[in-house]
Chains A and B, each alone.
Chain A
Amino acid sequence: MPSDTNSSSSSLSSDSEFHSQNSNQDLNPNLNPDSIDLSLDAIENQLVSISMSSHPETAPFDLEEDQSEPTEQLTTMIAQMNGEIGEEVVVDEIEEEEEDKSTMKAETSRLFKESSSEVWRNNSEEEEAMSPSSSGYAGERGSSGDAATVGNEIDDDDDDDAEDEIDEAWNYGVSESQEQWAPQKRNLDEDDTSISWRKRKKHFFILSHSGKPIYSRYGDEHKLAGFSATLQAIISFVENGYIACSSSFVIISSFCFPIRLYICLLHCFLFRGDRVKLVRAGKHQVVFLVKGPIYLVCISCTEEPYESLRGQLELLYGQMILILTKSVNRCFEKDPKFDMTHLLGGTDVVFSSLIHSFSWNPSTFLHAYTCLPLAYATRQAAGLILQDTADSGVLFAILMCRHKVISLVSAQKASLHPDDVLLLSNFVMSSESFRTSESFSPICLPRYNPMAFLYAYVHYFNVDTYLLLLTTSSDAFFHLKDCRIRIESVLLKSNVLSEVQRSMVDGGMRVEDLSIEPASIMGTMSSHLGQAGPAADSPGRIREAFFGIGGPAGLWHFMYRSINLDQYVSSEFSSPINSLRQQKRLYRAYQKFFSSMHDKGNGPHKTQFRRDENYVLLCWVTEEFELYAAFDPLAEKALAIKTCNRVRQWVKAVENDIFLLGASPFSW
């Protein structure tokens, strides 16, 4: 696109500039000599060639077909700030090893032969029907497997109820019924033989190293025992070094339950895991995370970057630690066949709500929390009274409104990691029982101390606003209850609770309120974080008038993460992205953008500009902040850059109201 070639007139800030490069250089991954074709046919050809003892590394490989989606073709990559030519971050790429793989080959084919009959024994007839030959994989060629998965996967996060949640969670709107927080129930009648189970877009499993199922997102984990055993067999290969991943995970794809997965793994072995960063083919990726005796697996065809999926498994593990502490490992030392499902009784909803937040809550990949917008004085009043309790032996005192922090303080030297904030708020919000009455529950903060329980006093002031007081003392309930009574009376007296309600109605930053004129931005600081004006008075009507427009220069949305504060702020959704589907797509685009910005050591200053048929996406990373912005796909680049500068100034101007600033000694 010619308009993208230059942005000379605009600069993002004094210390940074875009050095535009036309990125119409051919980024077609198929031309990448290092890429590997992991389409099913290719894999099987590989396996054949392996068994023939040829040299697989000489075989021609090309990358997966997904890369050539129209969206990808339209991608425009511009420029690193330091003047380097922008490199397309082709994550879907693995490098070949030069060294001889013959031993490995022999090993894997032997293993494959040995286990093929055993491993599949538990699987359905359907699977066997697809593989007429006894060796399991030879008959798998062709599209029968793909037909089952391609096309109409069940993507829960597109389901209606799920979308309500996205809506509710992203927007500051008036509070609706609390039921929205209850994610959809798992489909207990499903098992790995059901078509619907196989079509799910994103599976999560937790299992033990002996293959005992611990958690499955869909279906009853007990009915999935056969599948778990399969995964376990695979993982044990991983552990035995056939995939020698130092980081203890590997990603594979071109997956079909479960034989294709197995084939893919075998394929990976040949390329030596420690060099395999990401292997994808077809629609599926499989990510493993091994944590001592506990294995976590994600099987997904959502196109999310590998770093994101790995991060999600880390969070899932963290959530489990929050419920049980890491001392659960000891149960496995005593009895390797230990069945952990009992220990997690009643927590399905905690996991499913976390998994659901992977598709709407930016905290899950930004590793930052977000604050409810509040006048500085209001937040300070809340912070002061919380600080009081922290001085009286409370380790952490956290006041939250849904997933947004109102204020939090910690006792000296203690610090709270944003991931712990996420896991804690997910735990509390997803468990309906906390709303019924004040509670006192053991919980573990995985980033604070994964080995020990803390005790959490939980109390809801109203449907959305809740207080968490964490302590190390199991006898502290009545003390904490007294603290809460004091906190509550102060919050009421100083109108914090009513301000919280108001903020939820008013919402956060709106791109429509962004002024492109430098003078007015600083001048008008209304309670609505934007320009005083008609928009603030009658948002409903005005937004209608803005329909299809969004903010200046076609700005539709932005997300700003302060690196020092570990906090982010994201704008309200403007009308061009008012559908939940669009919001989710934008979320995914950000997520992808985020990991592409983070997966290469390009130094702290980076910018990216991408245009596709959905948006122009702009990302700007400095040592201080990360800004992600989405524009109309027809937005002019120079203007978009200018607008990002304005957004940055705007955020700076209202930072007292949107962030929790140095209220207490944090040092994360």
Chain B
Amino acid sequence: MANMGHNNLNAKLVLLGDMGAGKSSLVIRFVKGQFLEFQESTIGAAFFSQTVAVNNATVKFEIWDTAGQERYHSLAPMYYRGAAAAIIVYDISSTDSFARAKKWVQELQKQGNPNMVMALAGNKADLEDKRKVTAEEARVYAEENGLFFVETSAKTAVNVNEIFYEIAKRLPRAQPTQNPAGMVLVDRPAEGSRTASCCS
């Protein structure tokens, strides 16, 4: 890849959603290719990074996997502030988690970065028999709110990499001038040559 030096982007991505929706599972599937049946609750926020290559460029995601517990709610801006992208996760077998996802969308629309790429992930798609939220319902909501939507399964890996690649593609790239705040994408070529994950 010839232009590697030029097209390396660092993008801060935050995962939000109800506790238990599968945020950590999605990240771990994406970063480590693993799935744990008994994923422990996240405390505070866990940091991961993973690099993906799209269209002649690499995007290094700096991922904040937040805890989703209420006690950290007031601290959430600390993690989504300056984020280029957000994945709002709900569990298709829980209407509560879908309601909570909508709340997060609202909050990001109000407080978040206006250029943020937002994805809605209906996770646990493998639990078809326990489904409470239809794909249609979620798709309509996503369209209305300008999110892109996909159903995922951290367990079976369906659509997990895809959602991150899709975000990487949608990130406005190499246009720092259009982001006067300079927070959306930080071009750090010096770090671009590092390999995928800094945290093993």
Asked if A343 is at the interface (CB within 8 A of a chain B CB), the reply is yes
Stretch at the interface among B66-74, B152-160, B175-183: B66-74
Chain B stretch 20-66: residues in CB contact (< 8 A) with chain A? 24, 28, 40-48, 65
> Given A345-B71, A438-B199, A431–B48 Cβ distance below 8 Å?
no
> Given A324-B71, A345-B71, A438–B41 Cβ distance below 8 Å?
no
Q: How many A-B residue pairs have CB under 8 A?
A: 72
Asked if A120 is at the interface (CB within 8 A of a chain B CB), the reply is no
The residue that B40 contacts in the complex, of A432, A440, A477, with Cβ under 8 A, is: A432
Least CB distance from A627 to B in Å reads 38
Contact A439 B70 (CB under 8 A): no
> Given A349-B40, A438-B46, A440-B47, A433–B70 Cβ distance below 8 Å?
no
Q: Which residues of A contact B71 (CB under 8 A)?
A: 323-324, 342-345
Asked if B75 is at the interface (CB within 8 A of a chain A CB), the reply is yes
Asked if A346 is at the interface (CB within 8 A of a chain B CB), the reply is yes
Q: Which residues of A contact B46 (CB under 8 A)?
A: 433-434, 436-439
The residue that B48 contacts in the complex, of A344, A437, A443, with Cβ under 8 A, is: A437
Provide the A438-455 mask, 1 if CB < 8 A to any CB of B, else 0: 111111000000000100
Listed by A's residue number, 16 A-B pairs whose Cβ atoms lie within 8 Å are A342-B70, A342-B71, A345-B41, A346-B43, A427-B43, A431-B40, A433-B24, A433-B42, A433-B43, A436-B24, A436-B46, A440-B45, A440-B47, A441-B44, A443-B44, A475-B78
The residue that A437 contacts in the complex, of B70, B72, B78, B199, with Cβ under 8 A, is: B199
Chain B stretch 91-136: residues in CB contact (< 8 A) with chain A? none
Q: Which residues of A contact B65 (CB under 8 A)?
A: 437
Asked if A474 is at the interface (CB within 8 A of a chain B CB), the reply is yes
Contact B47 A437 (CB under 8 A): yes
Contact A441 B45 (CB under 8 A): yes
With A343-B69, A349-B40, A433-B43 known, 15 other A-B pairs at CB within 8 A are A342-B69, A342-B70, A342-B71, A345-B70, A346-B43, A432-B40, A433-B24, A433-B42, A436-B40, A437-B47, A438-B47, A438-B199, A439-B46, A440-B45, A441-B45
Provide the A442-486 mask, 1 if CB < 8 A to any CB of B, else 0: 110000000001001000000000000000001101000100000
Contact A343 B70 (CB under 8 A): yes
Asked if B19 is at the interface (CB within 8 A of a chain A CB), the reply is yes
Q: Which residues of B contact A456 (CB under 8 A)?
A: 44
> Given A436-B28, A437-B199, A346–B44 Cβ distance below 8 Å?
no
Q: Which residues of A contact B72 (CB under 8 A)?
A: 442
Contact A439 B24 (CB under 8 A): no
Number of interface residues of A (CB under 8 A): 28
The residue that B45 contacts in the complex, of A347, A439, A453, with Cβ under 8 A, is: A439
Main SS class of interface, B: mixed
- How far apart sit A323 and B67, CA to CA, in the bound complex (Å)? 13
- How far apart sit A268 and B139, CA to CA, in the bound complex (Å)? 63
The 4 closest A-B pairs by CB, nearest first: A441-B44, A346-B41, A432-B40, A345-B69
Nearest to B31 among chain A residues (CB) is A437
Contact B199 A441 (CB under 8 A): no
Interface size class of B (residues with CB under 8 A): 20 to 34
The residue that B19 contacts in the complex, of A346, A349, A431, A442, with Cβ under 8 A, is: A346
Q: Which residues of A contact B67 (CB under 8 A)?
A: 346, 441
> Given A323-B71, A436-B28, A437-B199, A345–B19 Cβ distance below 8 Å?
yes
- How far apart sit A342 and B71, CA to CA, in the bound complex (Å)? 8
Q: Which residues of A contact B47 (CB under 8 A)?
A: 437-440, 477, 481
- How far apart sit A349 and B40, CA to CA, in the bound complex (Å)? 10
Chain A stretch 342-366: residues in CB contact (< 8 A) with chain B? 342-347, 349
Interfacial residues, chain A to chain B (CB-CB below 8 A): 323-324, 342-347, 349, 427, 431-434, 436-443, 453, 456, 474-475, 477, 481
Q: Which residues of A contact B28 (CB under 8 A)?
A: 436
- How far apart sit A440 and B44, CA to CA, in the bound complex (Å)? 6
The residue that B44 contacts in the complex, of A324, A342, A345, A439, with Cβ under 8 A, is: A439
Q: Which residues of B contact A474 (CB under 8 A)?
A: 75, 78
- How far apart sit A345 and B70, CA to CA, in the bound complex (Å)? 8
Q: Which residues of B contact A475 (CB under 8 A)?
A: 78
- How far apart sit A39 and B199, CA to CA, in the bound complex (Å)? 60
Least CB distance from B131 to A in Å reads 24
- How far apart sit A660 and B50, CA to CA, in the bound complex (Å)? 39
Least CB distance from A536 to B in Å reads 35
Interface centre among B28, B44, B65, B199 (most CB of A within 10 A): B44
- How far apart sit A33 and B170, CA to CA, in the bound complex (Å)? 83
Q: Which residues of A contact B78 (CB under 8 A)?
A: 474-475
Q: Which residues of B contact A432 (CB under 8 A)?
A: 40
Q: Which residues of B contact A440 (CB under 8 A)?
A: 44-45, 47
- How far apart sit A403 and B16, CA to CA, in the bound complex (Å)? 32
> Given A346-B69, A442-B75, A434–B43 Cβ distance below 8 Å?
yes
Q: Which residues of B contact A481 (CB under 8 A)?
A: 47
- How far apart sit A231 and B118, CA to CA, in the bound complex (Å)? 48
Q: Which residues of B contact A342 (CB under 8 A)?
A: 69-71
- How far apart sit A440 and B43, CA to CA, in the bound complex (Å)? 8
Q: Which residues of A contact B41 (CB under 8 A)?
A: 345-347, 431, 433
Interface centre among A323, A343, A344, A345 (most CB of B within 10 A): A345
Q: Which residues of A contact B70 (CB under 8 A)?
A: 342-343, 345
Least CB distance from B32 to A in Å reads 9
Interface centre among A344, A346, A433, A437 (most CB of B within 10 A): A437
Least CB distance from B184 to A in Å reads 17
Q: Which residues of A contact B45 (CB under 8 A)?
A: 439-441
- How far apart sit A481 and B43, CA to CA, in the bound complex (Å)? 17
- How far apart sit A342 and B70, CA to CA, in the bound complex (Å)? 6
Interface centre among A324, A434, A453 (most CB of B within 10 A): A434
Least CB distance from A580 to B in Å reads 26
Q: Which residues of B contact A438 (CB under 8 A)?
A: 46-47, 199
Q: Which residues of B contact A437 (CB under 8 A)?
A: 46-48, 65, 199
Least CB distance from B66 to A in Å reads 10
- How far apart sit A485 and B49, CA to CA, in the bound complex (Å)? 15
